[in-house]
Structure 1
Amino acid sequence: MSRDETDTFDVDLFVIGGGSGGVRAARIAAGHGATVRLAEEYRVGGTCVIRGCVPKKLMVYAGRFADEFEDAAGFGWQVAPPQFDWATLRARRDAEVTRLESIYDTNLMRAGVEVIADRAVIEDPHTVRLVRSGERVRARTILVAVGAHPVKEPLIPGAELAITSNEVFELESLPARILVVGGGYIAVEFAGIFAALGSRTTLLHRGDRLLRGFDGEIRQALGEAYAKRMDLRLGTTVHRLDRRGGAIAATLHDGSVIEVDQVLVATGRRPNVAGLGLERVGIALDAAGAVPVDRFSQTAVPSIYAVGDVTNRAALTPIAIREGHAFADTVFGGRPWAVDHALIPTAVFSTPEIGVVGHGEEVARRLCGEIDVYEARFRPMKATLSGRDERVLMKIVVERASDRVVGVHVLGHDAGEIIQAVGIAVTMGATKADFDRTIAVHPTASEELVTMRTPAVVKQPVAVG
């Protein structure tokens, strides 16, 4: 008989980390009858609730009112010059975050999960130690759900003058001038937020287009839209940052200098594995510093699992939640299932917004062979009266042999809401014929997705880089 079968455990499950994945896993496991403790050293809710998706989306909403006020005149409204107050937004946003954190705490308590406000580290395959109290807890199963943190890469002279997406929520005032460095989700979203709220915004990215990995035409269209809203500099890097009076001087690789009041570096995130004790139990990290797991989120140590951003499979809140749920059902519910990471609907809350599910055109050509691409580019109905220079882009990518829709890409208002509904159809394996026989909702922008009948003219493939 193994030690596991004879040992005495304090709990069935110990969860390290109180973010989206850890909270969902803890609640579902407790619902299956497991005894569960969860340790969180900062605030329950994790990156998404405390300093990520939720507060950021509230700021996106705030910024979009600027367009609404401007557009109102075209519809006959007379709107006095609007004034924005950063302190009000910050106070209201932070109050909502605190409210949600309380809900997370309450839901865990109601589920029977014991929440411990402490840092936990792994001592052996079944033991965690609470750093502040020194208590050791024996657990039949340990779940690592500690997420990731922003990093300033590459590290340049003066990098300490910049902030990351953590500190951005602590700004006491709206910077008059801000430099955002990066080209991914976070950089794109915050650049859009600050530009909309009135900051003179520069978005700087070393690549030739924003949002690496997205469909090439979506990337191109976003760049064109952003170039009208802010100072967009592509193919550019920061050489150094220096304090110059009350400002920060950013020297670029070509020797030019930008003076700003704040620099936000959003160039990447790394798993929170430092000092966690993984090496002590023989869990080697992968090249990205993430915890390797199998499809059921199990590590090389059978009693230790990991979900969410710490595994670097797909760094999205809904994925962490699904992985946590699947883990709990598999280990404690007797219903094994694994998350399918192949089809993930996602949105970028830029302005214009982006919604995506499935493959971009370039990837589809590589994976599916012969494809057909359907495109619609148009001016949204609202812009005909507002006068705004705005375009919508929609693409459907179809595997020719099977007629299966393998990708849908939307750039425009409410793209995230549209793609959530479309994602159901694509996940179910819908064909282009299924889209064609769906009756359009008129007049809407999304009706274009079911009225495109002729494939676009074959174009030269756009590089994915």
Structure 2
Amino acid sequence: MAKYDYDLFVIGAGSGGVRAGRLAAQLGKRVAVAEESKPGGTCVVRGCVPKKFLVYGAEFGGAIKDAQKYGWTVGKTSFDWRSLRDSIQAEVNRLSGIYATMLEKNGADLFKERAEIKDAHTVKLKDSGKTITAKTILIAVGGRPWMPDISGHEHAIMSDDAFLLDQLPERVLMIGGGYIACEFAGIFAGMDVEVTQVYRGGRLLNGFDAEVRDAVLDVQRNNGIDVRFNASPTEIKKTKGGYIVTFDNGTKIGTDLVFMATGRKPHTTGLGLENAGVKLADNGAIKVDKYSKTSVNNIYAVGDVTDRVNLTPVAIREGAAFVETVFKNNKTAYDHDNIASAVFTRPPIGVVGMTEHDARQKHGEALTVYTTSFRPMKNVLADKSQRCFMKLITVGEDEKVIGIHIVGDDSPEIIQALGICVKAGLTKTDFDETCAVHPTLAEEIVTLKPREPNKTTIVS
């Protein structure tokens, strides 16, 4: 008889966990996966997928207005929040079902309940109380939104709640300056909600290139969002007509909905990791080596729970690398450098490689920076002031491209291809020798000129 019930037990059926479980099952391994929510994880159920649908929904209002400038006669229009919400949830359920089916068709067992670790080889299913043993355990439980423990915080919602609102409020107070806050502020604004965004820092999108951060502020304000800085909430009070939020600078803001987008943390609380001796970082993230192995030899972790690069495609690659390492005797470490990513503001952001600040910290003055800012052709007839910003950072005499940053329509689609260029180590000459596709927004990336010296902006 086998020493363990399973060769692999995966805790978490998000993108990373499902990929690892499916690949291991295809190799003939005995695999089980436990998920306390819907299969699909943050991305499918309460993140990337439903959020992108909301962004699409928010864009149609502006597109209808723009259409009139392009000769279209537009009649009476209205927006039905519940119709969009329910359509999105139907698609979420369909995709979640596909994730479950993928596991089951490949021979993996799916337990639709929470699993907690009892020791290095044992997990316990919380609802049924069933105890299961496994030779290898993979933790892929992702992260969860977090909010400060201020007076009245129970009156606020977080990103997980935003997809299921019963009705659309007239006013939203968005607290936070990260990508989730900026994205949802743009979503609500596109649905004609009055949005105030308050951030404790002095610039939105901490960690992004400084000029991108400035461009995003213009994006938010062009969308009618009232953006305020250097204020943290201290109290939320429910009133007859909504809520009053007090900030540490004495400001009080009235609103119908308080949305806390103040960060995410690894979902490790109550997982029982201490029972097996798995070491955690100060923020609760699971410490792993380059092969995703924890401090316990047979326990691994992938995805947001490790707080390395918190992106769905990265979790998928880490899950695949885990299977190569553990079950195919091919030690594989996923390369986390030069990963392209996007922020779905309106218009969105696409970035890959280093910020100018980080590049100067590493390479000093051996940089050449190219930038442009222009009004896209689409916005001219629509009489919109929103501009597109592009930035390309090179290093050395051969001008190897080490960073590209775009704020503008279709930038996530563009940055996917440009990510290949940065990953491959191409140079500015390679870009210059590539013929432009005209007329497109993307053509500007191969016609960039050096930024004027007096316009250097490298403050992070």
Q: Normalized against structure 1, the TM-score is what? A: 0.96
SS in 2 for 1:170: coil
From 419, 424, 431, the counterpart of 1:428: 424
Superposed, 1:47-62 pairs within 5 Å as: 47-62=42-57
Query: How many angstroms apart in 2 are the aligned matches of 1:156 and 1:9?
Result: 46
1:206 aligns to 2:200 (yes or no):
yes
The structural deviation recorded for 1:250 is 0.9
Structure 2 residue aligned with 1:446: 442
Letter in 2 for 1:183: G
Aligned to 1:192: 186
Q: Report how far residue 8 of structure 1 moved.
A: 0.5
Q: Which of 93-102 and 329-338 deviates more?
A: 329-338
What is the aligned partner in structure 2 of residue 14 from structure 1? Answer: 9
Match of 2:173 in 1: 179
Superposition deviation, residue 149 in structure 1: 0.8
Specify which of 404, 409, 412 is matched with residue 413 of structure 1. 409
Cα deviation code 1:263-289 (max 9, x no counterpart): 000111111111211111111211111
Identity %: 48
Contact 2:177 2:205 in 1 (8 A): yes
Contact 1:180 1:265 (C-alpha < 8 Å) held by counterparts: yes
Query: Aligned partners of 2:425, 2:22: CA distance in 1, in Å?
Result: 31
Tell whether 2:261 aligns with 1:266: yes
Q: CA deviation at 1:14?
A: 0.3
Give yes or no for the alignment of 1:68 onto 2:72. Answer: no
Q: Deviations over 1:141-174 (max 9, x none)?
A: 0000111111112x21111110101111121000
- Equivalent residues in 2 for 1:21-170 (5 A)? 21-153=16-148, 155-170=149-164
Q: Distance in 1 between matches of 2:452 and 2:23?
A: 46
- Equivalent residue number for residue 384 of structure 1: 380
Instruction: Say which SS state the counterpart of residue 243 (structure 2) adopts.
Output: strand
> Helix, strand or coil for the counterpart of 2:292?
coil
367-376 or 89-98, larger mean C-alpha shift? 367-376
Give, as a single letter, the amino acid of the residue that structure 1 aligns with 2:7. D
Any gaps of 5 or more consecutive residues in structure 2? none
Matching residue within 433, 437, 440 for 2:433: 437
AA matched with 2:404 = V
| 2:177 partner letter | G
Instruction: Tell me if structure 2 keeps the 8 A contact 1:406–1:426.
Output: yes
RMSD: 1.3
SS of 2:185 mapped into structure 1: helix
TM-score (norm 2): 0.97
> What is the rounded CA distance, in whole Å, between the counterparts of 1:71 and 1:7 in structure 2?
66
Q: State the aligned residue count.
A: 458
**How far has the Cα of 1:291 moved from its partner?**
0.3
Query: Are the counterparts in 2 of residues 28 and 329 from structure 1 also a CA contact under 8 Å?
Result: no
Task: Tell me the SS of whatever aligns to 1:202.
Answer: strand
Q: After the TM superposition, which residues 313-462 of structure 1 pair with which residues of structure 2 at under 5 Å, given as runs?
A: 313-369=308-364, 370-457=366-453, 459-462=455-458
For structure 1, the 5+ residue unaligned runs are 1-5
Offset of residue 402 of structure 1: 4.1
Could you tell me which amino acid in structure 2 is paired with residue 421 of structure 1?
Answer: A
Separation (CA, whole Å) in 1 of partners of 2:65 and 2:334: 44
Letter matched to residue 199 of structure 2: H
Q: Secondary structure at the match of 2:159?
A: coil
Equivalent residue of 1:352, what SS? coil
Shift of 1:335: 2.7
Distance in 2, Cα, partners of 1:84 & 1:265: 25
